[in-house]
Amino acid sequence: MPDIEPEIENENSDNKTTLFGKYEMGKLLGCGAFAKVYHARDVRSGQSVAVKIINKKRVASASLMSNIKREISIMRRLTHPNIVKLHEVLATKSKIYFVMEFVKGGELFNKVAKGRLTEDISRRYFQQLISAVGYCHARGVFHRDLKPENLLVDENGNLKVSDFGLSALSDQIQPDGLLHTLCGTPAYVAPEILGKKGYDGAKVDIWSCGVILFVLNAGYLPFNDPNLMAMYKKIYKGEYRFPKWMSQDLKRLISRLLDTNPETRITIDEILKDPWFKKGYKPTKFYDEATKLDEKDEAESVSRLNAFDLISFSSGLNLSGLFDASSVDEGERFLSADPPEKLMETVERVAKAQKLRVRKKKDLGVIVEGQNGDLVFGMDVHRLTEELVVVEVKRKGGDSSSYKEFWRNKLRAELMGQRESQVASSE
């Protein structure tokens, strides 16, 4: 029996659980850190749907409220054949339910995992992806986490873009004309996001589309390395190799998609004119229901949802913690513009003030130890660019509570300085 809240269960004659008397719940399709997705059937129409269930207790940070409202707002304004449709949002005191279009074929990732695709099949999926992405951009929506795991394929072989949890709207663009929140999945993230100087949401989506196209036909990632820092450096420099079977026209298009300079990177309009892309391309024709929603309707819809005190959630695939300060019990990674030497000096000063021992490592790193062995804490600094480093902190041993006390209450604020307030005020 699915994990559905008791007060909203109804048992029909077949002893099936129904949600709000509207959706007959079926098997579990997937599970993330804060959400579970079930197959369900609309009892009125018999239509299959997917229901994502988010437990509010597991995502209790009220500061993330804007994310959930933004995702709902985004999905309500998107009606495109190649984008997963949100039917409705339901909620109770402890759970949020996203009722969405059910895509029977599963993730595009699973198809690629079985082997690379031909250029013709890769082209068809890519054409549908660009149709959906161009539609989003025209409506001021930037996905920011495009990857094969977030692309579904229906029973007719049509691609569907899903998971808008990291998406941004054009009204989040700052006075410099750019977005500044650092997010995405490492292997698909654009170099300008790593540069931390702001970025154009449309251009980072196009970069991700380039990585996806490469993966479809090559069967492997263009930028990949077991060492995360080494992979970031490859992305930043645009270092990758084409497989021998790839055609010259496809290589030429991917080179323009994976242009490390966002100013000269190919645009959606230019992609539509590209010879390789145009082969067999038929623009998608459909009726855009979302255009019927005016700003007043959307504001009223979000206001009604606020009555449920909705709290944001994560699909479990968001790796923005690699870039932003996303605290966990045993470790954390964040970007810093401070020189490694200054970071080391800060750790040494704070540790000595707490009467802790500090041992420097051969590479850029330190080990901090408590006098009685109740704390063993490590920090490593990895050079990303000339201006940026990635700082990784981790409990190596000792007592977890001692680690939390030292890191969260003593060292964290010193290392990040003004960064915390900047992160809090971003977007």
Q: Is the pLDDT of residue 73 over 70?
A: yes
E-state strands within 258-416: 331-336, 357-360, 365-369, 375-383, 389-398
Residues 111/30/202/69 CA torsion (nearest 10 deg) = 160
CATH architecture of the domain with range 6-103+292-306: 2-Layer Sandwich (3.30)
Q: Which amino acid appears at position 25 of this protein?
A: M
Q: Is the pLDDT of residue 60 over 90?
A: no
What is the predicted pLDDT for the residue at 76? 77
Is 176 catalytic? The answer is no
Task: Say which CATH topology domain 108-291 has.
Answer: Transferase(Phosphotransferase); domain 1 (1.10.510)
Measure Cα distances from 153 to 82, 168, 246, 287, 408 in Å: 9, 24, 24, 21, 43
pLDDT digits (tens, 9 = 90+) for 341-372: 888 889 889 888 888 888 887 778 888 888 66
**Which residues are paired to 369 by β-bridges?**
357, 376
- Where is pLDDT greater, at 423 or 178? 178
Spot the catalytic one: 3, 14, 145, 269.
145
pLDDT digits (tens, 9 = 90+) for 269-288: 999 999 999 999 988 776 55
Percent of the chain with pLDDT over 90: 29
What is the predicted pLDDT for the residue at 335? 72
Q: Are the CB atoms for 99 and 88 separated by under 8 Å? A: yes
pLDDT mean over 313-326: 32
Buried b / exposed e along 272-298 (16+ C-beta atoms within 10 A): eebebbeeebeeeeeeeebeeeeeeee
What is the predicted pLDDT for the residue at 323? 35
pLDDT mean over 132-147: 88
pLDDT mean over 48-74: 70
Q: Break the chain into its structural domains and give their ranges.
A: 6-103+292-306, 108-291, 325-425
Q: Which amino acid appears at position 56 of this protein?
A: K
pTM to 2 decimal places: 0.65
E-state strands within 92-199: 95-101, 141-142, 151-153, 159-161, 168-169
What is the predicted pLDDT for the residue at 316? 27
What is the predicted pLDDT for the residue at 25? 94
Could you tell me the sign of the dihedral formed by the alpha carbons of 249, 127, 205, 187, in that order? negative
What is the predicted pLDDT for the residue at 417? 59
Question: Residue 26 — very low, low, confident or very high, per pLDDT cuts 50/70/90?
Answer: very high
CATH code of domain 325-425: 3.30.310.80
What is the predicted pLDDT for the residue at 59? 58
As a whole number, the mean pLDDT across the chain is 76
